[in-house]
C-alpha cells in the first residue's frame, strides 16, 4: 500500500484535530503530499530523505536543511514496509511529547486501511467467483479449484437464495445484515442490485425480513451441491420475476402455478393459444362471466347459478353454448384445464 494524496490529507486533518501543530506527510521521494500548510505542498524535504534512508526518527533543530523547518520527522512503517514519513512542525522540545502518539495513530490508521483493502479484495474475488460460475465461464473442476484458493466452505450441501433491492445502497445494507445471520455460509454480490446467499438451514426464517424491508427474496427449498448452483440460481431468478409481478417479497418453488408458467411463455405463443381457445367467446361477455364463475365454484352448476342470480338451466345453456363455440367441454378435465388457463391468460393481458 502506498500513500495517496487523499489518504494523506485525511491523516493530516484527523491528526491536526488532536494536536495543535502542523503535520506534513511525505511520499517515497521525500516530497510533501499533504500538509496543514498548503504553501509547503510538493516541496522536497531533506529531513524526510534522511528518514527514508535510515528508517529512523530525525529531529530538525535548525532550518539549514533543504525544505525543512524545525520539528520531528518519523518513518511510517506498516507490516514491516516503509510507506512514507510524517513530520510535526515546531520546536523539537515542544513537539517531542506528541511524536510517538502521532506515529502510532497514523500507523494504526494505515493498518486498518490495509485490512479494509484486503477484505474488499477478498469480497471482489468471491463476487466474481459466483458471477463466473453462473455465466458458465468456468467448469465445475475449475470452480472446485477456486473454492480451495478462496477458502470458500462449499463442500457441504446448502440452500441457495437470491435477493434483489431497489438500489446498490439498499443492497449493501441488506448484505451487511444478512452476513451476520447464523445460518449464512457465503454471501456475494452478483449484479448491481442483486446478491446471493448460501445458508445451511431452511430459508423461511427470512420471510419476515423480506416483508418488513420490502426486499424481494427467492430460494430453492433443496439442499444442493456446487454443480447444481447455476440451475437453482436460474430458478431463483425466475421466482424473483414472479414475486415482483405479484408483489410477493418471499418466493419459493411453491409459488409456481399455471399463472406463473403462462407468465413466462413466449408472447406470440400466448396470443396464439388465447386466440385458438377463446376467440369465439370474447364477443359474449355473459358467457365469459358464467365460465369464470363455474370454475370459481369448482364446476358446481347450482352454486354458479346462485352466485350469478340466474336459473340453473341458464347456466347449463351457457355451458352448452361455450362448448359449441369452442369445441371444448368445461365439464371435462382436459378441456377444463385449457379453458382455465386461457381465462387466466386473458385476465393477465387485461390487467397489463
pLDDT by residue for the chain (352 residues), tens only, comes to 566 888 899 999 989 998 999 999 999 899 999 999 999 999 999 999 999 999 999 999 888 888 889 999 999 999 889 999 999 999 999 999 999 899 999 999 989 888 888 888 999 999 999 999 999 899 999 999 999 989 999 999 999 999 999 999 999 999 999 999 999 999 999 999 999 999 998 788 899 999 999 999 999 889 999 999 999 999 999 899 888 888 899 999 887 766 666 666 777 777 888 888 998 898 899 999 999 999 999 999 999 999 999 999 999 999 999 999 999 999 999 999 999 988 988 887 777 6
> Which CATH superfamily hosts domain 157-256?
Reverse transcriptase/Diguanylate cyclase domain (3.30.70.270)
- Which numeric CATH code is attached to 5-114? 3.30.450.40
How is the chain split into domains, by residue range? 5-114, 157-256, 264-351
Separation between Cα atoms, residue 330 and residue 276, nearest integer Å: 16
Fill in the DSSP letter of residue 155: S
Separation between Cα atoms, residue 2 and residue 291, nearest integer Å: 74
H-assigned helices in the chain: 5-16, 46-54, 92-134, 140-149, 168-178, 207-213, 229-246, 258-263, 267-278, 285-296, 301-308, 312-326, 333-351
pTM comes to: 0.65
CATH of 264-351, picked from 3.30.1960.10, 3.40.50.300, 1.10.10.10, 1.10.10.2840, is 1.10.10.2840
Residue 246 corresponds to which cell in the numbers above? 405479484
Please give the C-alpha separations between residue 53 and each of 5, 79, 80, 92, 99, in angstroms, as whole numbers. Answer: 22, 18, 15, 21, 19
| 69 alpha carbon, distance to own chain's centre | 51
Amino acid at each position: 500500500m502506498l500513500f495517496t494524496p487523499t489518504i494523506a490529507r485525511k491523516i493530516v486533518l484527523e491528526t491536526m484535530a488532536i494536536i495543535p501543530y502542523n503535520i506534513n506527510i511525505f511520499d517515497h521521494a521525500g516530497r510533501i503530499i499533504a500538509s496543514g500548510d498548503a504553501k509547503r505542498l510538493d516541496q522536497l524535504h531533506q529531513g524526510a530523505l534522511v528518514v527514508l534512508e535510515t528508517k529512523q526518527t530525525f529531529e530538525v533543530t535548525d532550518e539549514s536543511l533543504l525544505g525543512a523547518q524545525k520539528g520531528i520527522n518519523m518513518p511510517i512503517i506498516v507490516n514491516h514496509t516503509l510507506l512514507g514519513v510524517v513530520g510535526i512542525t515546531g520546536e523539537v522540545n515542544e513537539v517531542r511529547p506528541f511524536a510517538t502518539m502521532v506515529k502510532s495513530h497514523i500507523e494504526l490508521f494505515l493498518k486498518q486501511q490495509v485490512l479494509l483493502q484486503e477484505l474488499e479484495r477478498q469480497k471482489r474475488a468471491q463476487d466474481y467467483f459466483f458471477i463466473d460460475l453462473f455465466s458458465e465461464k468456468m467448469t465445475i473442476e475449475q470452480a472446485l479449484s477456486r473454492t480451495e484458493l478462496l477458502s470458500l466452505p462449499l463442500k457441504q450441501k446448502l440452500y441457495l437464495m437470491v435477493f434483489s433491492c431497489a438500489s446498490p445502497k439498499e443492497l449493501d445494507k441488506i448484505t451487511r445484515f444478512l452476513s451476520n445471520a447464523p445460518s449464512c455460509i457465503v454471501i456475494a454480490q452478483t449484479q448491481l442490485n442483486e446478491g446471493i446467499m448460501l445458508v445451511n438451514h431452511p430459508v423461511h426464517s427470512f420471510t419476515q425480513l423480506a416483508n418488513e424491508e420490502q426486499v424481494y427474496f427467492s430460494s430453492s427449498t433443496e439442499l444442493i451441491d456446487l454443480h447444481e448452483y447455476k440451475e437453482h440460481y436460474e430458478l431463483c431468478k425466475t421466482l424473483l420475476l414472479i414475486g415482483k409481478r405479484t408483489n410477493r417479497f418471499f418466493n419459493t418453488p411453491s409459488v409456481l402455478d399455471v399463472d406463473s408458467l403462462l407468465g413466462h411463455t413466449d408472447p406470440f405463443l400466448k396470443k396464439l393459444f388465447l386466440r385458438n381457445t377463446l376467440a369465439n367467446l370474447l364477443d359474449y361477455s355473459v358467457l365469459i362471466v358464467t365460465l369464470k364463475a363455474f370454475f370459481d365454484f369448482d364446476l358446481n352448476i347450482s352454486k354458479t347459478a346462485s352466485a350469478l342470480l340466474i336459473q340453473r338451466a341458464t347456466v347449463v345453456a351457457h355451458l352448452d353454448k361455450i362448448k359449441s363455440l369452442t369445441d371444448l367441454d368445461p365439464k371435462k378435465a382436459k378441456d377444463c384445464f385449457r379453458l382455465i388457463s386461457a381465462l387466466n391468460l386473458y385476465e393477465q393481458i387485461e390487467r397489463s
